[in-house]
Chains A and B, each alone.
Chain A
């Protein structure tokens, strides 16, 4: 019985490490990216709206803790994360949010920031992380660990090529979904 178990382990372990190694590889290559400048387009399909909501704007990332999502249309709005603080700026007001105090918000922020930073430890704090595909076309599927977030979001899928994140799809528990397409601006 124990021998069988040992054999099973021997057989299974290389597989496990291979998959893990790929994830480590991806994360390591993402971690080397010092900054990203990109345009984004977002399409939100929401049950409460008769038509999809279309947005576009710019994304700025500086490793490892700074991320800005600036929506230009239809509603000018900036989400800026630096370290533990999220700043939301609209034409009317400016709000600061301390991320460690807001678990769900922090989880949503880290889905993209920790992915860009190649920070697997942080991702794993909030999500079950699974990698599919090859380096030239990979998809990282993030499933919330905590039910507090699972009530809202069933999964987030980040996809890209090599060390570039090109797409982010959020699948909500309600059936709503949003797709963000990211186009890096190459210097």
Chain B
């Protein structure tokens, strides 16, 4: 009695410790789990995925109401958001340079304008500019253009503004951006936080919604999109669907267990091994890695589905008046072998370079061991002898179920041959099995994907798709590389391979370029003489252009514009999001839009040092493909290790074959069935197959136990029916989920379990069924 109390106390203490550790382990939603350590290019890519400017954009559409109401809502919303600190920039077409910023930028015009060349200030260059101005004075729009004339007759300020305007800005109505059909007012918001910082994103979205509630006019409604919007949405969709599906599945499993055991106590106690396993898994990963990837947790809990079976084995084999402890001693060798071989199968994952895979291995192994230990030592102490399973759970010698204990040989042959045929078919046709496009697994409903595409087109916002990253020792070098790159990009733009690009150098030229422009400006006397010559015969008032002479003279000796000089102007935010220091280096980002031919485009940058071109989608998919290949390799090693240990402990080649053959056939048939259903396999399928392997091994081990009388074999069949039944209930539910990820897991496991059970029942039992004296010896 004191021994059992000690067991319970130890378990409770360990559980408390593990839960404490588990609760303090931070869960990260990071993508680094897909990236092997020490891969510099991939790290750079990842940085882009995580914090690239395109991921920070929130696209806003205001629909409904009248055009005036949409425009007014847009104005008020933009003003309120600008007053809020959450955002780097808010654009809705109404931004006007305030007078101070305009004056500052105007002062920089001879350094920043793209058109400054020596030719521009010769007599003939000036004359053609002046004639152009004269023509503008004659136009009906002259009131709007002539104010700048005396100080800026060459039109540099407007040239500058034109350069800075996005090439594809939306058209304006009532002073703000609208979609071409006028049905939607458009805003573009850039958050400070990365699009993958979902907590910060959902906070930013809440701020937008809250301000919209105040800004809303009439029946105008708010539509939002962008990386962060879709990210938080898919997170909440997944969370809510997972919650109700798992609640329903738990209820159904509990109902099933209650039907079988007729004891609420047993039903509740059956959950203990799984709960302990999850606590142990999270705690071990937390101890070893410091944090846990959200996806490891999801995959890990899936893999721990095996642990649900342990208490079922235990209770189903229990036959009072035998003590539960006695039952456990009977089945323990088989159960232990199942646990150890499955755990060994995951061992190979731990040593990989991919942190996600290593975490998954640690999680699954520690969880399985914990579940097995709780089943073996804690359950018998907690279950009083009075809670006996009902009599009918024990199959009698005259039971109608009896024929099931003798699966006819032709059934075994048929199933085996079917499995082999499918295997050969798969091998021969070698179909493309893998789904490398992550988007195929996105839970975002297609109307929202369309909304995102529409808003992006209407706003001319960059997609997160293509970006060039320049790394350099300082800002000046990064800007110089950007400028030479801008020259090279002109050609693909002219050929239509590329629609457009943005870069910091567009707003802030390198010091070198600014100095060249300064050199192009003539001295005052020379400029005055050339201007005099240019003015011959033109009707401008004498002395009108004194301010021009002053401005040019001043610009010749002005200090060059540095990034910090732009502070307070709208350019500052643009430049700082495209050019910044990171990890002791400088990065210049060049987001590309409308890339038609990434291969041809990549050739443009041949031989430029420090320039990396990323097709983010292709690269992500490549990384995930590499991750999957690594996982497959580790699974193969795990399988080999598992077979070796199984062979050593079973010490019977025949039994080893009878254990492994059903598992192999089940896995192959599972893949084949999925393929026939038109599914492509992803990581999620792969993890599900791992679970199928773990469960099928247990089935085969139990079915192939030698030295069993009829009664025990009946109990085993009963236990395995309950095991596979409960697994089928849970994963069958997931198979009908609308979420592609859950559907993938559900289908793979449900089909695999069905096949695994059938194969094990038909093939592995062949060991026990024929009265073969040779194998009856231990």
Which A residues lie at the B interface, using CB under 8 A? 44, 46-51, 53, 55, 69, 71, 74-75, 77, 79, 88, 90, 98, 100-105, 108, 152-153, 170, 172, 174, 176, 178
CA–CA, A159 and B93, complex, Å: 36
Contact A49 B541, CB 8 Å, known A55-B138, A100-B171: yes
Are A77 and B139 closer than 8 Å at their CB atoms? yes
CA–CA, A103 and B541, complex, Å: 31
| Interface-lining segment among B19-27, B143-151, B632-640, B770-778 | B143-151
Are B137 and A48 closer than 8 Å at their CB atoms? yes
Contact A79 B140, CB 8 Å, known A48-B150, A101-B171, A102-B172: yes
CA–CA, A178 and B138, complex, Å: 10
CA–CA, A174 and B150, complex, Å: 14
CA–CA, A88 and B142, complex, Å: 13
Contact A49 B139, CB 8 Å, known A98-B171, A100-B172: no
Are B539 and A53 closer than 8 Å at their CB atoms? yes
Residue B544, interface by CB 8 Å: yes
Residue B175, interface by CB 8 Å: yes
- Chain A residues lying within 8 Å of B174, measured Cβ to Cβ, are 100
Partner of A49, one of B137, B175, B178: B137
CB distance from A87 to the nearest CB of B (A): 13
Are A108 and B143 closer than 8 Å at their CB atoms? yes
- Chain B residues lying within 8 Å of A51, measured Cβ to Cβ, are 539
**By DSSP majority rule, is chain A's interface helix, strand, loop, or mixed?**
mixed
Partner of A105, one of B141, B540, B541: B141
Are A50 and B139 closer than 8 Å at their CB atoms? no
Residue B495, interface by CB 8 Å: no
Are B135 and A44 closer than 8 Å at their CB atoms? no
1/0 per residue, CB under 8 A from A, across B178-220: the answer is: 1000000000000000000000000000000000000000000
Are B143 and A170 closer than 8 Å at their CB atoms? yes
CB distance from A146 to the nearest CB of B (A): 10
- Chain B residues lying within 8 Å of A55, measured Cβ to Cβ, are 138
Residue B453, interface by CB 8 Å: no
Are A108 and B544 closer than 8 Å at their CB atoms? no
Contact A79 B138, CB 8 Å, known A100-B173, A101-B172, A103-B175: no
CB distance from B599 to the nearest CB of A (A): 35
26 contacts between A and B (CB under 8 A): A47-B541, A48-B137, A48-B146, A48-B540, A49-B539, A49-B541, A50-B539, A50-B541, A51-B539, A53-B138, A69-B140, A74-B138, A77-B138, A77-B139, A79-B140, A88-B139, A90-B135, A100-B174, A100-B178, A101-B171, A101-B172, A108-B141, A108-B143, A152-B143, A152-B144, A170-B143
CA–CA, A88 and B46, complex, Å: 48
Partner of A108, one of B137, B138, B140: B140
6 smallest beta-carbon distances between A and B, as pairs? A101-B172, A100-B173, A152-B143, A49-B539, A98-B171, A75-B135
CA–CA, A98 and B171, complex, Å: 7
CA–CA, A178 and B142, complex, Å: 10
- Chain B residues lying within 8 Å of A75, measured Cβ to Cβ, are 134-135, 138
CA–CA, A115 and B418, complex, Å: 86
Contact A48 B138, CB 8 Å, known A101-B172, A152-B144: no
For residue B175, which residue of chain A has the nearest CB?
A103
CA–CA, A102 and B149, complex, Å: 21
For residue A54, which residue of chain B has the nearest CB?
B138
CB distance from B543 to the nearest CB of A (A): 10
Residue B447, interface by CB 8 Å: no
| Given A49-B541, A53-B137: 14 more A-B contacts, CB < 8 Å | A44-B137, A48-B137, A48-B544, A50-B542, A53-B138, A55-B138, A75-B135, A77-B138, A103-B175, A105-B141, A152-B144, A153-B143, A174-B147, A176-B143
CA–CA, A51 and B150, complex, Å: 17
Are B137 and A104 closer than 8 Å at their CB atoms? no
Q: Which of B143, B172, B541, B542 has the most CB of A within 10 A?
A: B143
CB distance from B218 to the nearest CB of A (A): 19
Partner of B143, one of A49, A98, A172: A172
- Chain A residues lying within 8 Å of B146, measured Cβ to Cβ, are 46, 48, 176
CB distance from A28 to the nearest CB of B (A): 26
Partner of A44, one of B138, B147, B171: B138
CB distance from B144 to the nearest CB of A (A): 6
CB distance from A137 to the nearest CB of B (A): 25
- Chain B residues lying within 8 Å of A71, measured Cβ to Cβ, are 138
For residue B544, which residue of chain A has the nearest CB?
A48
1/0 per residue, CB under 8 A from A, across B511-548: the answer is: 00000000000000000000000000001111010000
**Residues of B109-147 whose CB lies within 8 A of A:** 134-135, 137-144, 146-147
- Chain A residues lying within 8 Å of B175, measured Cβ to Cβ, are 103
CA–CA, A88 and B175, complex, Å: 21
Are B539 and A44 closer than 8 Å at their CB atoms? no
- Chain B residues lying within 8 Å of A152, measured Cβ to Cβ, are 143-144
CB distance from A40 to the nearest CB of B (A): 11
Are B144 and A105 closer than 8 Å at their CB atoms? yes
CA–CA, A95 and B137, complex, Å: 17
Are B139 and A101 closer than 8 Å at their CB atoms? no
For residue B149, which residue of chain A has the nearest CB?
A48
CA–CA, A101 and B94, complex, Å: 10
- Chain B residues lying within 8 Å of A77, measured Cβ to Cβ, are 135, 138-139
CA–CA, A170 and B137, complex, Å: 14
- Chain A residues lying within 8 Å of B134, measured Cβ to Cβ, are 75
- Chain B residues lying within 8 Å of A103, measured Cβ to Cβ, are 175
CA–CA, A176 and B146, complex, Å: 11
CA–CA, A75 and B538, complex, Å: 14
- Chain B residues lying within 8 Å of A47, measured Cβ to Cβ, are 541
For residue A180, which residue of chain B has the nearest CB?
B140
- Chain A residues lying within 8 Å of B138, measured Cβ to Cβ, are 44, 53, 55, 71, 74-75, 77
CA–CA, A18 and B544, complex, Å: 50
CA–CA, A71 and B175, complex, Å: 30
For residue A75, which residue of chain B has the nearest CB?
B135
CB distance from B141 to the nearest CB of A (A): 6
CB distance from A133 to the nearest CB of B (A): 25
CA–CA, A4 and B327, complex, Å: 106
For residue A168, which residue of chain B has the nearest CB?
B140
Are B139 and A79 closer than 8 Å at their CB atoms? yes
For residue A103, which residue of chain B has the nearest CB?
B175
CB distance from A49 to the nearest CB of B (A): 5
CA–CA, A174 and B542, complex, Å: 19
Are B144 and A104 closer than 8 Å at their CB atoms? yes
CA–CA, A95 and B601, complex, Å: 31
Are A101 and B143 closer than 8 Å at their CB atoms? no
Contact A48 B143, CB 8 Å, known A53-B138, A71-B138, A101-B173: no
CA–CA, A153 and B140, complex, Å: 12
CA–CA, A98 and B170, complex, Å: 11
For residue A90, which residue of chain B has the nearest CB?
B135
CB distance from A46 to the nearest CB of B (A): 6
CA–CA, A53 and B134, complex, Å: 9
For residue B139, which residue of chain A has the nearest CB?
A77
- Chain A residues lying within 8 Å of B150, measured Cβ to Cβ, are 48
Q: Which of A53, A90, A100 has the most CB of B within 10 A?
A: A100
CB distance from B685 to the nearest CB of A (A): 51
- Chain B residues lying within 8 Å of A50, measured Cβ to Cβ, are 539-542
CB distance from B413 to the nearest CB of A (A): 77
CB distance from A58 to the nearest CB of B (A): 14
CB distance from A127 to the nearest CB of B (A): 15
CA–CA, A73 and B147, complex, Å: 24
- Chain B residues lying within 8 Å of A79, measured Cβ to Cβ, are 139-140
- Chain B residues lying within 8 Å of A88, measured Cβ to Cβ, are 139
- Chain A residues lying within 8 Å of B172, measured Cβ to Cβ, are 98, 100-102
For residue A152, which residue of chain B has the nearest CB?
B143
CA–CA, A108 and B26, complex, Å: 62
CB distance from A77 to the nearest CB of B (A): 7
1/0 per residue, CB under 8 A from A, across B65-107: the answer is: 0000000000000000000000000000100000000000000
CA–CA, A173 and B709, complex, Å: 109
For residue B145, which residue of chain A has the nearest CB?
A152
CA–CA, A75 and B146, complex, Å: 17
CA–CA, A170 and B141, complex, Å: 11
For residue B140, which residue of chain A has the nearest CB?
A79
